[in-house]
Chains A and B, each alone.
Chain A
Amino acid sequence: NAGVTQTPKFRVLKTGQSMTLLCAQDMNHEYMYWYRQDPGMGLRLIHYSVGEGTTAKGEVPDGYNVSRLKKQNFLLGLESAAPSQTSVYFCASSYRGGRNTEAFFGQGTRLTVV
């Protein structure tokens, strides 16, 4: 039972390069999320999706784009990486939103932009 799988686990980018982070879940969840985690700042929501073909901005969306073409996949893109995007990125999914929703997380992607 894989749960939520993120690839890659580690990546180093040069300023200005682009990349895509992949997230796949096998739990048939409707909702998917991308977060970044920085020391002392907890989890900050970048973008989220409440279903296939839908996306919405979170707290810190600038510099990122997302797509959810298939229910099980949620992609996070960085078009022109900046050092400020150095962070640990987590993907999560949940059956739906609301009071009893449990979020399931991937193991994270550690991204360094130099």
Chain B
Amino acid sequence: TQLLEQSPQFLSIQEGENLTVYCNSSSVFSSLQWYRQEPGEGPVLLVTVVTGGEVKKLKRLTFQFGDARKDSSLHITAAQPGDTGLYLCAGAGNYQLIWGAGTKLIIKP
């Protein structure tokens, strides 16, 4: 069974600080996606990483796929209150996505 473990489960920091969220597995995935979910809404895709070692940037968010395609990280620089939400990673299987449990992020002004 493929599993994705996210850490930390919860993070509350002050505006302007940096943070990193991790997504780890013992399985290899063909790609890994990061989603953000706001209260009362469904998850929305932020980025897909496909190649081992790949780095993608989305404004202040940096996503990296591990060389072995078993893990990924999300780094936020100078976090803002608008970054508050639940961040989910998902690994691509043949017919379905394998989901991590999520990291709940709160950025305090």
CB within 8 Å of B: which residues of A?
4, 31, 33, 40-45, 48, 50, 56, 58, 90, 92, 97-103, 105-108
Contact = CB atoms under 8 A, between A and B. Distances in A.
B96 A45 contact: yes
Contacts of B27: none
A102 B81 CA distance: 26
B44 interface: yes
Contacts of A58: 96
A100 B51 CA distance: 11
Contact of B42 (A41, A90, A100, A102): A90
A102 B45 contact: yes
Count class of interface residues, chain B: 20 to 34
Interface in B1-43: 6, 9, 30-31, 33, 35, 40-43
22 contacts: A31-B95, A33-B96, A40-B9, A41-B101, A42-B6, A48-B96, A58-B96, A90-B42, A97-B93, A97-B94, A98-B94, A99-B30, A99-B31, A99-B48, A99-B92, A100-B31, A100-B48, A100-B50, A103-B45, A105-B44, A107-B41, A108-B40
A95 B95 CA distance: 11
A97 B96 contact: yes
B31 A42 contact: no
